[in-house]
Amino acid sequence: MYLATTGRPDAPPAPSGVRRRVPGTVLALGAVSLVTDVSSEMVTAVLPLYLVLGLGLSPLQFGLLDGLSTGATALVRLLGGATADRGGRHKQVGGLGYALSACSRLGLLLAGGATGWIATAIAADRLGKGVRTAPRDALITLHSPPEDLGRAFGTHRAMDTTGALLGPLAAFALLWATADAYDTVFAVSFSVGAFGVLLWVLLVPGRRRADEKAPAVPAGPRARGGFRGGLSGRSPGRLLGGLFDGLLGGLRSPGYRRIVVCAGILGAATIGDAFLYLLLQRRLAFDATWFPFLPLGAAAVYLLLAVPAGRLADRIGRRAPLLYGHGALLLAYGLLLAPLPDTVALLGVLLLLGVFYAATDGVLMALAGPFLTEGRQASGLAVVQTAQALARLGAAVAFGAVWTMSGPETALVAALLALTAALCCAARLLPTTPSEPSERSD
């Protein structure tokens, strides 16, 4: 049972009363994410309301924009993950992503209200996020003991969500103090983002420190020399061949293949948060000025539950929390359709959405981590994230199209049925972690 932790099957368990510390690198990464999320959420909190109610975009148009902002960075995620794995350049590639997101705030300052330039700035921010996510999560995996991956990712996501809570509050405080001077918000957002890049440079180590336990990897093949050799060759064909060999090499593991498939299946039945908030606003018909505060309710729940959910996943296995988290999202869909009092629907949806993210976001990465071969942590996680992102792109477009053609209720019923089917498939396909007896006996 302890083979994945120590390399010896007869190793004794750690004392149950001993509380292990969260690795310092995870805390540093969490601090960077907190500051960066303050910066990004300052400018994104009002976008759904602005685009749909302000600019008059149809639900289909908004679905296309929302989905593209999530899914169009797929190749960037893959390239970022593969490049980070080459020579262990996780810090350099991740720092580039954070810097790109910070610079996108300057684009908003220079846009002058032009929709095209605003879209370009948003795209730059998303590209930065796509580049940095896999290297950052790979650093968490590399610097954390495998038996504590759930807690490590939960701690990071809790700190990240703290920034998501503070960002909108800071933005509205600035708007109130400056009489709706949006340029001030963009300028402060850029300054905060630049501070996050500085923290990344100063606090995040490029390689594992000597006092941190190396995570175990499956006993399967190590990263092939063709990956690094292909990347270093001069021929473009060899470059691309080595890149895709590095990206897809992890798919040789049956458990990892099932995780990738399940990430796609579940992502295809997950509609974006912005749609849920728009449905809430439509049902409750509250004043539009309160709309940007809706994400804060879900973020508060996520913040409270991220660490407990990660620790629970480490104790009972990461498969069950991932399924139950999507079950919470299914209940949120149901609440929006049920004839309940408005207050019950509002609080219930925000609570369930927070539970969904706490039980799935970091837990999915922790579930995939032990299946990744040595030298492919970033690219392996990038494939999982890309499968999920592309599936959510399709889900956003499909939901927006059905809403536009048949109404929001029909679209929500279709999403509920799709998520039910996806959960049934995932319950059969998702593996347990390699260290659990049921997986070792496969």
Q: What is the pLDDT of residues 303-359, one digit of tens each?
A: 899 889 988 988 888 899 999 999 999 999 999 988 888 889 899 999 999 999 999
**How many CB atoms within 10 Å of residue 334?**
15
| 78/23 Cα distance (integer angstroms) | 27
Q: What CA–CA distance (Å, rounded) separates 370 from 255? A: 10
Packed helices 294-316 and 319-337: angle between N→C axes, nearest 10 degrees: 150
Pairwise CA distance, residues 152 & 158, whole Å: 10
CA dist 46 and 289 (Å) reads 9
Q: Tens digits of per-residue pLDDT, 87-99?
A: 778 888 889 999 9
Please identify which residue in the block is written with the tokens 């049934």: 424
Per-residue confidence (pLDDT) for residue 51, from 0 to 100: 61
Low-confidence ranges of the chain (pLDDT < 70): 1-20, 45-75, 111-116, 180, 207-252, 287-289, 292, 433-442
Q: What is the pLDDT of residue 223?
A: 43
What amino acid occupies position 44? T
Closest C-alpha to 395, from 381, 416, 409: 416
Q: What is the mean pLDDT of the chain?
A: 77
Cβ 94 vs Cβ 84: under 8 Å: yes
Contact predicate 33/213, CB 8 Å: no
Q: For position 127, what pLDDT does the model report? A: 85
Contact call for residues 77 and 247 (beta carbons, < 8 A): no
Give me the torsion for CA of 129, 131, 137, 141, rounded to 10°.
-170
Contacts of 240 (CB under 8 A, 6+ apart): 230
Model confidence, pTM? 0.72
DSSP states along 25-54: HHHHHHHHHHHHHHHHHHHHTTHHHIIIII
pLDDT at 267: 92
CB atoms within 10 A of CB 293: 13
Separation between Cα atoms, residue 434 and residue 216, nearest integer Å: 10
* CA dihedral (54, 400, 46, 283) positive or negative: positive
Question: CA-to-CA distance for 42 and 30, rounded, in angstroms?
Answer: 18
- 94-127 pLDDT, tens per residue? 899 999 999 888 887 786 656 667 777 777 888 8
Q: Are 231 and 246 in contact (CB under 8 A)?
A: yes
Tokens, residue 180: 């709706």
Question: How far is Cα 3 from Cα 440, in angstroms, rounded to an integer?
Answer: 10
Spatial separation of the C-alpha atoms in residues 320 and 328, rounded to whole Å? 12
pLDDT in the model for residue 19:
53
3-state SS of 82-147 is HHHHCCCCHHHHHHHHHHHHHHHHHHHHHHCCCHHHHHHHHHHHHHHHHHHHHHHHHHHHHCCCHH
In 3D, which of 148, 151, 133, 149 has the Cα closest to residue 384?
A: 133
Which residues, 6 or more positions from 158, have their beta carbon under 8 angstroms from its beta carbon? 30, 302, 303, 306, 307
User: Are the CB atoms for 369 and 377 separated by under 8 Å?
Assistant: yes
C-alpha span between 394 and 387 (Å, rounded)? 11
Q: What is the pLDDT of residues 260-281, one digit of tens each?
A: 999 999 999 998 887 888 888 8
Rounded CA gap, 235 and 341, in Å? 64
CA–CA gap between residue 385 and residue 259 (Å, rounded): 11
Cα R_g (the chain), whole angstroms: 21
The pLDDT of residue 50 is 58
Nearest alpha carbon to residue 258 among 74, 439, 75? 439
pLDDT at residue number 42: 83
CA distance 186 to 189: 5
